[in-house]
Chains A and B, each alone.
Chain A
Amino acid sequence: MSKEIVTGNEALALGALRAGAKVITGYPGTPSSEAIGFLLSHPELWKEKGVHVEWSTNEKVAFEIAAGAAWAGQRALVTMKMSGLNVAFDSVISIAYSGINGGLVIYVADDPGVSAGMAEQDTRGFAFMSDLPMLEACSVKEAYLLVPKAFELSEKTKSPVFLRLTTAVSQSHAPVELELPYYLPLEREILLERDIQRYTKAGALICMAQHRDLIQRLEKSKELIREMKLNEFSLSKKKGQLGILASGVSYSYLEEGLLLASQFGLDPEEVSILKVVSVNPFPEEEAKLLLENSELILVLEELEPYMEKNLILLARKLGLRRRIVGKLDGTLERIGDYSVREVLLGISAALGLKIPPELFYGIQAEKLAAPRPITVCAGCPHRGTFMAINNGIRKAGFKKDQVMVTGDIGCTILGMNPPFNTVWNEVSMGASIGIAQGYVHAGINSPVIATIGDSTFFHAGIPPLINAIQYQVPLTLIVMDNGWTAMTGMQFNPGTSEKFLPQGSRRVDLEKLIPGLGVENFWVVDPYDYRKMSEIILKALKLEGVKVILARRECAIQAMRRGERTGKVQVNPEKCTLCKSCLTITGCPALSIGEKAMEIDQTLCNGCGLCLFTCGYKALEREEA
């Protein structure tokens, strides 16, 4: 045993190693990225054992690789954020029908409270839709312990198993007793099983038989989960009327909430508690005990009232009339993450306790803070692209509000904020290119521009580009290629330089791929070269058909981490008039207003020189590195 502080994501990865996973895949996405990230930065834990770990092109690909390995009899883990499951789900539901051989765990991280953008979707819904078991951990420690159990359940039922964490658990750091050795290999024979009844979907008979098997597997998992004692029911020590059902991170707030409520008349010993770990299948036996022993039941779960509905259904089935306090009666919200406040609000609504509201609400001083919109970093190549798009639109004779610039996921969306105000919308990975075509077909008279990052383009941007090429849709696509999957914390992707890819990998070069699809008007431009970039954008806006600009320059943060600067920019205080144009146009964090002249923070500035183009007084001077 080794007691170490690890994050929820790391605990997940370590749990999978301990369970003998042979194939571990994923696509980066906050709050799940550090599971694979941790493994890739610790190859000593797995590399020599023959384990395969990778960042895949997207979540669907990642899932399929893991599923293939599980069909072949190995244990496999696939990791993603909730949005990624939407991408992978087509294959997930199909594999759910077929079942698997080796254990397959699908780790999905949900983000109630939206720490990282995107929909507050509750992926438990996908578990119900696909009839797959889903387990959820309430703490970092439990995440580590649950992984081997999820694999065991998966193998015993021949079913993929979801393991769900939410941001507060996946991003938390806590001490965990880690079992040694970290990796416990399994002896597995590779299965090469040909059985079209199980592994194909051609025909109603096959599919309906598989559907029946799927439902039976979920039934079987109910018994196994009971045997494994994953869910915990604890009967109140003294007879009382309140029961609480809590799942996920909400459970971790319970003890604190009960203690606080005890100051207002609650006796914690009068409360029965059901901790739900298997959110699917719903633990009916334990829930029955809760219903039988409580007059009123508080349900604590973030986001959607899934457990609550299950409980209401079960009470009806059992013919028990119970008051259920949760979201459906309006006590608690479906929006945001929960804390001890929801425990107290729920208890006080259930029992009519008089808990003063000021106990949950502090002084709202944040409204007095300065707004701090996030922008691109100093030296970010995207700055050059946003500036050039704005310039190109102006030079083409349009106003900014006449030209649709669709946006995509990742750092490239930061063009939505001041000072650029370039990008209009954000939908999902790759959507900028499809949405742009919709605007064109809608009959828009002005040019349409789509923007997307490199990793996002590889992930889901290629099919919509193919569509645009096939129908020769007049639009300008700008692929902002900084060589990294940057916003999620600098993961490599298929386009990353081979210097930084795992040994034996080959880089997929967008400069070859895009013209290969049949794009005739194609340019590769350095976004630091503002004049060239503006000129090409202007040209593209005037041409017919599909135009693609590959704005290529490595992420400045990554280059700076290796000590690489492109140059040095300094202010000539004699010439600077403090007109502030440089700051107004670039919004660069390295620039600030000094007493007599602008100032540049040399620890941030990488010498990109984009500010030079904004200065009418030649007060900014650049030396090439």
Chain B
Amino acid sequence: MQAIGNPEYPYNIYLVGVGGQGILTIGEIISQAVNLQGLPVNFYPTKGMAQRGGFVKAQLRIGKDLVGPAIPERGAHLVLAMERSESLKAVRYLKPGGDFLLWDYIWAPTAVMLGQAFYPELDVVKEQVQTAQGKFIVVSPSLLADFEGNPAPDNIFLLGIALRRTSLGKVVTFSAAEEALKNRFKRFTSRNLFALKAGYNLEL
């Protein structure tokens, strides 16, 4: 399967969020899935210094054997963001016409909670994405499905949404994502598979 767009370019995904949200797991699953499909991939996570609660980003480049790990600015076909404020850091990497999928979770830094710093409104993100000529897709965390009485893993839920609602679906097949999930989660397999499917089937 060839990456979409110009076949000679890699398909680029820029992931952002806060440490602990599972954004790197999304990157890992996508890498494993495309590897199962026989596509080359380079997955470059940047964890920063914090174990939890710091900015985390990851860059995925799919479909090209030798490829530089960093996505150029205006080069990402897809941005997957799991935190509203941090999502702004991905805008400069969005390709005009690319998809910007935001899981609109708010993880307010302490200074924001104490009223010492501002926190962006959702419209600010939307406006920036539109200025970058991207397609803005926002999903409220209130839509997260429950699995056996507990919230399903939101990162995998978001991956399911991306497979259906963004260009990712043209690169990664649902069954490869399922297979990668099974390999990655020897425990909690069913709840992750459920989350993927529920995200995929979510009506927006």
Partner of A377, one of B52, B71, B114: B52
Partner of A365, one of B31, B43, B49, B92: B92
Q: Contact between A487 and B110 (Cβ–Cβ < 8 Å)? A: no
Q: Contact between B52 and A589 (Cβ–Cβ < 8 Å)? A: yes
Q: Contact between B109 and A363 (Cβ–Cβ < 8 Å)? A: no
Q: Is B1 an interface residue (CB 8 A)?
A: no
Q: Is B204 an interface residue (CB 8 A)?
A: no
Q: Contact between B89 and A249 (Cβ–Cβ < 8 Å)? A: no
Residues 551-580 of A contacting B (Cβ, < 8 Å):
557, 580
Q: Contact between A374 and B49 (Cβ–Cβ < 8 Å)? A: yes
Q: Is A172 an interface residue (CB 8 A)?
A: yes
Binds B, one of A21-29, A204-212, A251-259: A251-259
Q: Contact between B88 and A369 (Cβ–Cβ < 8 Å)? A: yes
Chain B residues with CB under 8 A of A557:
51-52
Complex CA distance for A366 and B66, rounded to whole angstroms: 29
A256 and B88 contact, Cβ closer than 8 Å, known pairs A175-B35, A370-B108: no
Interface membership of chain A positions 151-189, coded 1 if the CB is closer than 8 angstroms to chain B and 0 otherwise: 000000000000000001101111100000000000000
Complex CA distance for A527 and B2, rounded to whole angstroms: 56
Partner of B68, one of A340, A358, A372: A340
Q: Contact between A363 and B131 (Cβ–Cβ < 8 Å)? A: yes
Partner of B132, one of A168, A363, A368, A418: A363
Partner of A256, one of B31, B67, B91: B67
Q: Contact between A115 and B85 (Cβ–Cβ < 8 Å)? A: no
Q: Contact between A592 and B69 (Cβ–Cβ < 8 Å)? A: no
Chain B residues with CB under 8 A of A139:
42, 66
Complex CA distance for A364 and B73, rounded to whole angstroms: 10
Chain A residues with CB under 8 A of B136:
none
Q: Is A117 an interface residue (CB 8 A)?
A: yes
Complex CA distance for A341 and B72, rounded to whole angstroms: 7
A371 and B117 contact, Cβ closer than 8 Å, known pairs A172-B42, A174-B43, A339-B70: yes
Partner of A370, one of B68, B72, B85: B85
Q: Contact between A171 and B45 (Cβ–Cβ < 8 Å)? A: yes
Chain B residues with CB under 8 A of A419:
110
Q: Contact between A255 and B66 (Cβ–Cβ < 8 Å)? A: yes
A370 and B117 contact, Cβ closer than 8 Å, known pairs A173-B28, A592-B108: yes
Q: Is B13 an interface residue (CB 8 A)?
A: no
Interface membership of chain A positions 115-148, coded 1 if the CB is closer than 8 angstroms to chain B and 0 otherwise: 1110000000000000000000011100000000
B129: min CB distance to chain A, Å: 8
Q: Considering residues A340, A366, A378, which has the most beta carbons from chain B within 10 angstroms of its beta carbon?
A: A366
Q: Contact between A362 and B120 (Cβ–Cβ < 8 Å)? A: no
Q: Contact between B40 and A365 (Cβ–Cβ < 8 Å)? A: no
Q: Considering residues B48, B69, B112, B124, which has the most beta carbons from chain A within 10 angstroms of its beta carbon?
A: B69
Q: Looking across the interface, which residue of chain B has its beta carbon closest to that of A168?
A: B69
Residues 26-54 of B contacting A (Cβ, < 8 Å):
28, 31-32, 35, 40-54
Q: Looking across the interface, which residue of chain B has its beta carbon closest to that of A488?
A: B49
Q: Contact between B67 and A363 (Cβ–Cβ < 8 Å)? A: no
Chain A residues with CB under 8 A of B125:
365
Q: Is B128 an interface residue (CB 8 A)?
A: yes
Secondary structure call for the A interface: loop
Q: Is B157 an interface residue (CB 8 A)?
A: no
Q: Contact between B50 and A374 (Cβ–Cβ < 8 Å)? A: yes
A184: min CB distance to chain B, Å: 25
Chain B residues with CB under 8 A of A372:
18, 53-55, 85-86, 109
A370 and B119 contact, Cβ closer than 8 Å, known pairs A256-B9, A365-B91, A375-B53: yes
Chain A residues with CB under 8 A of B112:
370
B199: min CB distance to chain A, Å: 22
Q: Contact between A172 and B92 (Cβ–Cβ < 8 Å)? A: no
Q: Contact between B31 and A173 (Cβ–Cβ < 8 Å)? A: yes
Q: Contact between A249 and B68 (Cβ–Cβ < 8 Å)? A: yes
Complex CA distance for A173 and B70, rounded to whole angstroms: 12
Chain A residues with CB under 8 A of B41:
5, 173-175
Complex CA distance for A592 and B86, rounded to whole angstroms: 19
Partner of B111, one of A140, A255, A418: A418
Complex CA distance for A317 and B64, rounded to whole angstroms: 39
A267: min CB distance to chain B, Å: 15
Q: Is B118 an interface residue (CB 8 A)?
A: yes
Complex CA distance for A250 and B66, rounded to whole angstroms: 11
Q: Contact between B119 and A377 (Cβ–Cβ < 8 Å)? A: no
Partner of B9, one of A140, A252, A259: A259
A371 and B131 contact, Cβ closer than 8 Å, known pairs A172-B44, A362-B93, A589-B53: no
Q: Contact between A256 and B110 (Cβ–Cβ < 8 Å)? A: no
Residues 127-155 of B contacting A (Cβ, < 8 Å):
128, 131-132
Interface membership of chain A positions 400-425, coded 1 if the CB is closer than 8 angstroms to chain B and 0 otherwise: 00000000000000000011000000
Q: Is B94 an interface residue (CB 8 A)?
A: yes
Q: Contact between A362 and B73 (Cβ–Cβ < 8 Å)? A: yes
Complex CA distance for A364 and B111, rounded to whole angstroms: 23
Chain A residues with CB under 8 A of B131:
363
Q: Looking across the interface, which residue of chain A has its beta carbon closest to that of B133?
A: A363
Q: Is A361 an interface residue (CB 8 A)?
A: yes
A580 and B114 contact, Cβ closer than 8 Å, known pairs A116-B49, A117-B49, A173-B42: yes
Complex CA distance for A139 and B66, rounded to whole angstroms: 7
Q: Considering residues A140, A340, A368, A373, which has the most beta carbons from chain B within 10 angstroms of its beta carbon?
A: A368
Chain A interface (Cβ within 8 Å of chain B)? 3, 5, 115-117, 138-140, 168-169, 171-175, 249-250, 252-253, 255-256, 259, 337, 339-341, 358-366, 368-375, 377-378, 418-419, 486-487, 557, 580, 583-584, 587, 589, 592-593, 604
Chain B interface (Cβ within 8 Å of chain A)? 8-10, 18, 28, 31-32, 35, 40-55, 64, 66-75, 85-86, 88-89, 91-94, 108-114, 117-120, 124-125, 128, 131-132
A-B contact sample (4 more), CB < 8 A, given A256-B64, A592-B113 = A341-B72, A362-B73, A365-B92, A369-B89
Ordered nearest first, which 9 A-B pairs have the shortest CB separation? A362-B92, A253-B68, A365-B91, A362-B73, A365-B128, A168-B69, A339-B70, A173-B43, A369-B88
